[in-house]
Amino acid sequence: MLKYIYIVLIIAVLTVLSILPLHADDSRVTPYGDYCAECAMYGACRDVLQQDAAVRVMDRYYRDRGYQVGNILHRGRFIEAVIYKDDRQVDRVLFDRKTGRLRSIY
């Protein structure tokens, strides 16, 4: 009888574990669709940010969170950058100088 109780208990535990969602660390470096401090909301920039101003905004955004911006590539109104933490690449982002939107491209 005790053997059957153990079997039922094991089956119950396995069933509960299979139902529970398993999540990896979901703390993203760049929340999807975040925006820079110079633009209050999506598409709310009055003027297209100049390249040097946009790089400063991105640098401040990530520095405040403990990251570093590197490998910056300018493509029209977009800026692509690689984000590092402790000399390890953790994200690649695209910044839209017209709308102020910042998003991961991974």
Q: Which two tokens stand for residue 16?
A: 């509960």
pLDDT tens, residue by residue, 35-77: 777 776 655 677 788 889 889 988 998 998 899 998 899 989 8
**Residue 30: DSSP 8-state:** S
* pLDDT above 70 as % of the chain: 75
Q: Higher-confidence residue: 36 or 87?
A: 87
Beta pairing class for 78-85 and 68-75: antiparallel
Cα gap 7→16, rounded to integer Å: 14
Tell me, what's the pLDDT at 80?
Answer: 94
What's the Cα-to-Cα distance from 68 to each of 42, 56, 90, 97, rounded to whole Å?
A: 24, 12, 10, 19
Taking the model in full, what pTM does it have?
0.66
Cα gap 17→54, rounded to integer Å: 47
* pLDDT above 90 as % of the chain: 23
Cα gap 16→26, rounded to integer Å: 22
Tell me, what's the pLDDT at 40?
Answer: 62
pLDDT band at residue 88 under the 50/70/90 scheme = very high
Token pair 């977009």: residue: 78
